[in-house]
Amino acid sequence: MRKVFIAQTSVVTSLGNDLDSNFQGLLNKKSGIKKIDRFNTKNYRQDYAGLIKDIETPCDRSLFLNLTDLILDQFSKISEDCFIITATTKGCIDLFEKEENNISPVNNLLLPSNIPDYVAKVLNFNLNKRGMNISSACASSTIAIIKGAQMIMNKRADSVLIFCADIISEFVFAGFSALNAMSDSPVKPFDINRNGLNLGEGGAALLLVGDDIAKKNYGFCDTSIAGFGIASDASHITAPARDGHGLILAINNALKTSDLKPADIGAINTHGTGTVYNDAMEIKALQYFFNHINIPANSVKGSIGHTLGGAGGIEAALATIMLKEQVLPGTFGFINPEKGCEDFISSDAVPLSKKYLLSINSGFGGTNAALILKREDL
């Protein structure tokens, strides 16, 4: 079974338009979350989000396509036999709003199933193998990475491009507002005073390759995929299982596939949305595995917001530079610890000395996914 490496990455969020600016922003305790002006928020109780101004144009083109172009412009040439897996929860949802206002004809709507073809078009090659789009709530892109890794490991593909993104439209904003899920101030992950999430938009692209392809075409790749797990708690349509059993099962599967013990993990990138129930559930899952281990954890959503289908891919790409630089950025907005996370979460950056990082994501419908990345040394 082949080893899987991450050969290229690209990240765009409200914090920056490339991987390094996002990483430096996290280290310097910056936030891209601000009061928004893209649409009128007078009918909603919240008006904070992480918007990307560079994707806003006067034309009636979807912001999702503008974001896609911005992410993929950073990629070098990719082999035409590369399989493409995209991940998004809403895709070009803003075109529905424009259609409602008679701005954009319905035949311009880009369905999620067509997004892999659009990604190939941006990269200037024909999609020889049919791609796929995964929409599994906020665990979408982590599941996409896992699917891509499995394809390479089982020799069903030599390389797989993971592309993930979501934008903020009024439709999405209104939905989360109706759920009373959003904070009326900048988000506070794992803080005792947290009261909801902030939406963010952004995306990432990650090129996965087998070890033979990595050596031939990319030389040394400093991050590999060590293990993964997916599980559903089937508890509620939007709320996570209070005892965290679905996430616990996903983490356990990731540890098994990587043949690792909890003590081998050097750091954890949590889902960390800042909602009361999600953070409490994650604390229980972390305590289940790591209660007697001094292990640091963080959430990047305090700085970039919850990027929905883009979250797991963005966080995996950021994890590659965290492992390389051997530092875990702190959690922006975290001030007063919720009970149980005092020994895990910090507002300050901490050293990351071990080779393995666990990244976890959960989504509506009880979906949970866990990914273990490994730092490769020369």
Amino acid in position 311: A
Give the number of C-alpha atoms closer than 13 A to the C-alpha of residue 94, restricted to the C-beta side.
21
SS3 content of the chain, % helix, strand, coil (to 5): 35, 25, 40
The dotted CATH code for 225-375 is 3.40.47.10
* CB-CB contact of 322 with 267 (8 Å): yes
The whole-angstrom separation of Cα 49 and Cα 288 is 32
The whole-angstrom separation of Cα 378 and Cα 338 is 40
- The pLDDT assigned to 121 comes to 86
- The pLDDT assigned to 129 comes to 67
Model pTM score: 0.95
Which of 78, 46, 311, 283 has its CA nearest to residue 186? 46
- The pLDDT assigned to 223 comes to 97
Reported as a single tens digit per residue, the pLDDT across 158-187 is: 999 999 999 999 999 999 999 999 999 999
Which of 73, 250, 237, 62 has its CA nearest to residue 146? 250
Domain boundaries, the chain: 4-218, 225-375
How does 48-81 read in b/e, with b if 16+ C-beta sit within 10 Å? bbbbbeebeeeeebbbbbbbbebbbeebeebeee
- Mean per-residue pLDDT pooled into runs of 10, the chain (378 residues): 94 98 98 95 93 89 94 87 93 79 52 82 77 93 98 95 96 93 95 97 98 87 97 80 91 98 98 96 96 93 98 98 98 96 95 97 92 92
Cβ–Cβ contacts within 10 Å for residue 182, how many?
Answer: 26
Q: Supply 110's token pair.
A: 């880009």
Amino acid in position 109: L
Please give the CATH architecture assigned to the domain spanning 4-218.
3-Layer(aba) Sandwich (3.40)
DSSP character at residue 22: H
Reported as a single tens digit per residue, the pLDDT across 195-217 is: 999 999 999 999 999 999 888 88
The whole-angstrom separation of Cα 146 and Cα 208 is 10
Q: Do domains 4-218 and 225-375 have the same CATH topology?
A: yes
DSSP 96-121: HHHHHTTSS-GGG---GGGHHHHHHH
- The pLDDT assigned to 99 comes to 61
131: left (phi over 0), alpha (psi -120 to 50) or beta: beta
Which of 370, 199, 181 has its CA nearest to residue 277? 181
DSSP character at residue 207: E
